[in-house]
Amino acid sequence: MNKIVHMGQLVPLSKEMKLFELIDGYPQLLSIFSRLNIVLPFGDVSVEAMCQREGLDADLFMMLCNMHLDPDYRPADRSLRAEMLAGVVAYLRSSHGYYTTYMLPHVAQHLERVLEHCDALSQRVLRSFYDDYVGFLASHFEEEERDIFSIIDNMSTTLDALFSMLEAPHGDIDDRTNDIASLVIKSLPEGVPTPLRCSLLDHIYMLRDDLRRHSAVEMSLLRPLVAKYQKSVER
Amino acid sequence: MKRLKVAIIEPSLIVAEGIEAVVRRLADYDVVLNVRTVAEYHLRRCADVDVAFVALSHAHEELGAVQKIGIQTSLTEPDVVRGVSTIVSLYSTEEEIVKALGEGVDTPTTTNFSDSHELSERERDVLVLVAKGYTNKEIASELFISPHTVISHRKNIVHKTGIRSVAGLTVYAVLNKLIDSEQL
């Protein structure tokens, strides 16, 4: 469980704490605010009040924060409610947008700075490799939004079929992201200045870790919520 | 000796925790992953795993270049499963689990990764043909070796380069001047 210093004591994150405490304790959560398009400043409000104002489920927001901070965090089944499903799908959709409009172009910028120090052939193959990777991710996101999320919206398939679709391609994404890191570490020409190389690697690993958390939200939040939602509809 | 990385894929938490406790007592092994399903294994795999304890009910599923040790939790489960080098049961002693680990990593299909990350001449030959889009069978025929040996070389190449995709290996081959772009 992620904890934070509150009134001089280490306590678990909670929706009752002030928004400032949450951000000040874990600035890395700001990317969730970007994804959910939450506009700051909010004054001295609690997380719960902020969620209410933004139309977000505060319990779900706390789960997303905890999962973002700790890749091994799994929300307890009893704390999941079928009504959270729409919020998770909205979060995953907006995460796709965050990758395509922010994170991937950011890595590309750092890659370009590195490529300035490479020969023409290296530039061409690396640029093309990264473009393919971006295309691969974009088509994965599109497919997920078209097939999986729309199926969830309409609930027109069996859970087994839905779950196998959710599971299928994520190992490939991780492998391909690692491939880029391996190439940068092991094969980039020696002339590339170390700070540029390290900065590019930082962003690649940030992207990889974020994509892993994204997959974890799909596996450990979306899946059980779909099951709960379907049960609630059948009743 | 290189410490070997062990994964445990077992739906029963109690069984998985028991195996992990035994393996953690051994000097030459690290448990790097303990998960309930193969899907979770693929999702969370962050280190190259050498050997995996896997529930017999999941043992037929693809784990990549990893030696599998089956976990038999029921007497009705088969004693022989394709792709599983050896089996441990709920009644195995610590010695039997150690022995299974030894057999798991010493079977003929195991790749003995060299500590050197330089590719051997043969591995470079295989890499170039992979980059050119040859299949394992075509590479075997071109280099007069068995497809099994090609697979073994490919495992070594992946381990040494840290690159799994064919596209990534192609870029590696170009950047390391093993191939020029006109050959692609």
Residue-wise pLDDT for A162-215, tens only, equals 666 666 656 678 888 999 998 888 888 878 888 898 999 999 999 999 998 998
Contact A184, A201 (CB under 8 A): yes
Q: Which residues of B touch A (CB under 8 A)?
A: 39-40, 42-45, 117, 161-165, 167-168, 170-172, 174-176, 180-181
Any chain B CB within 8 A of the CB of A160? no
pLDDT band of residue B109 (cuts 50, 70, 90) is very low
The encoded tokens of residue A83 equal: 């009504």
CA distances from B21 to B3, B14, B17, B69, B88 (A): 17, 11, 6, 16, 15
Any chain B CB within 8 A of the CB of A180? yes
Q: For residue range A176-187, what is the model confidence (pLDDT) as tens digits?
A: 899 999 888 888
Contacts with B117 from chain A: Cβ below 8 Å: 186
The pLDDT mean for chain A works out to 85
The encoded tokens of residue A187 equal: 């094969």
Residue with tokens 């409009």: A101
pLDDT band of residue A10 (cuts 50, 70, 90) is low
Contacts with B42 from chain A: Cβ below 8 Å: 167, 170-171
CA distance A171 to chain B (A): 5
Which long-range contacts does A73-78 make (Cβ < 8 Å, 24+ apart)? A73/A1, A73/A2, A74/A220, A75/A220, A75/A221, A77/A224
Q: For residue range A58-107, what is the model confidence (pLDDT) as tens digits?
A: 999 999 999 998 878 888 888 898 888 888 888 998 999 999 999 999 99
Task: Specify the higher pLDDT residue, B136 or B4.
Answer: B136
Task: Specify the higher pLDDT residue, B81 or A133.
Answer: A133
User: Does the predicted interface ipTM exceed a cut of 0.90?
Assistant: no
Comparing CA positions, the residue from A51, A81, A188, A59 lying closest to residue A130 is A188
Q: For residue range B56-79, what is the model confidence (pLDDT) as tens digits?
A: 888 777 776 678 888 888 765 555
- Give dist(CA A15, CA B79) in Å, integer: 52
What single string gives the DSSP state of each residue in A81-136? -GGGHHHHHHHHHHHHHHIIIIIHHHHHHHHHHHHTTS-HHHHHHHHHHHHHHHHH
The pLDDT value recorded for residue A137 is 93
How is domain B121-183 classified at the CATH fold level? Arc Repressor Mutant, subunit A (1.10.10)
Any chain B CB within 8 A of the CB of A188? yes
Through-space distance between the first and last CA atoms of chain A, rounded to whole angstroms: 33
Domain ranges, ordered by start, for chain A? 3-73, 83-234
CATH 3.40.50.2300 assigned to domain B4-106? The reply is yes
